[in-house]
């Protein structure tokens, strides 16, 4: 999403469900689960996050706002945008990504197989522009990607759903600190839903301490459980 060269520390690699992810040699970790990038994204973020919010909060489902910590390859966004477009739900999507990927790298992921061609083409055409302003992907979806660290991210907007998709705590412990979680959850609306693929004692305690109701939800393939939390109205 920045320039037309692929950094040498990034490599496209396959995962167990046949979908690709990117391996970051500097971090020592994949952008998605090696058990299946597509499966994880659909299960943790789309189904357990957005669809859960729409079905269970009673707030309504004509429009929704999503904040993603760790925008990465854009897979979570693509699936969410495709779903909202098909369901005719207006989506305001904000991603946080300290190191945005190039268009060339994104185009090599093969994620065009999993969404409508119009969603994919619009994303490739507009994703670079989303780094400097909110862009309209189509009549339903707006996208902005903040090229920022989580710690430096600020927004006057509050969000209905937060996708927390940072690298694992083993590789980026600072992203999972009590301070980082508190900083993230200040952007969640009352009644909003926070989801992440991980679940640890420290994470549960940090989220509960901020007044959210924590749920242990079934995890994506390769993980028994994941964390979902709802902010009190």
Domain locations along the chain: 10-231
Q: What is the pLDDT of residue 7?
A: 80
The answer to whether residue 5 scores a pLDDT higher than 80 is no
The answer to whether residue 4 scores a pLDDT higher than 50 is no
pLDDT digit string (tens) for 45-87? 999 999 999 998 766 578 999 999 999 999 999 999 999 999 9
Mean pLDDT of 146-159: 96
Please list the alpha-helical segments (H only) found in the chain.
Answer: 37-40, 52-56, 75-87, 103-107, 117-126, 178-185, 201-209
The answer to whether residue 199 scores a pLDDT higher than 90 is yes
CA distance 233 to 229: 13
Alpha-carbon dihedral 67, 226, 210, 206, rounded to 10 degrees: -120
Mean pLDDT of 29-43: 95
Mean pLDDT of 152-157: 96
Greatest CA separation found in the chain? 47
Collapse the DSSP code of 159 into the 3-class scheme (helix H, G, I; strand E, B; otherwise coil) and give the result.
strand
Mean pLDDT of 36-42: 96
Q: What is the pLDDT of residue 57?
A: 72
Q: Which CATH architecture has domain 10-231?
A: 3-Layer(aba) Sandwich (3.40)
């Amino acid at each position: 999403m920045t320039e037309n060269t692929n950094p040498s520390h990034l490599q496209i690699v396959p995962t167990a469900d046949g979908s690709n992810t990117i391996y970051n040699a500097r971090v020592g970790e994949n952008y998605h689960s090696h058990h299946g990038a597509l499966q994880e994204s659909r299960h943790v973020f789309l189904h357990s996050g957005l669809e859960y919010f729409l079905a269970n909060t009673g707030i309504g489902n004509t429009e929704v706002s999503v904040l993603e910590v760790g925008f990465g390859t854009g897979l979570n966004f693509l699936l969410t945008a495709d779903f909202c477009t098909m369901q005719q739900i207006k989506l305001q999507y904000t991603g946080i990504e300290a190191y945005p990927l190039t268009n060339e790298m994104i185009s090599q992921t093969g994620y065009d197989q999993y969404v409508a061609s119009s969603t994919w083409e619009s994303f490739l055409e507009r994703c670079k522009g989303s780094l400097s302003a909110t862009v309209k992907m189509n009549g339903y979806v707006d996208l902005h990607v903040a090229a920022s660290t989580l710690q430096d991210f600020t927004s006057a907007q509050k969000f209905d759903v937060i996708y927390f998709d940072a690298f694992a705590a083993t590789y980026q412990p600072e992203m999972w600190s009590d301070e980082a979680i508190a900083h993230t959850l200040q952007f969640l609306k009352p009644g909003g839903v926070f989801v992440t693929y991980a679940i640890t004692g420290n994470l549960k305690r940090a989220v509960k301490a901020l007044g959210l109701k924590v749920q242990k939800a079934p995890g994506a393939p390769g993980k028994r459980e994941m964390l979902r939390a709802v902010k009190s109205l």
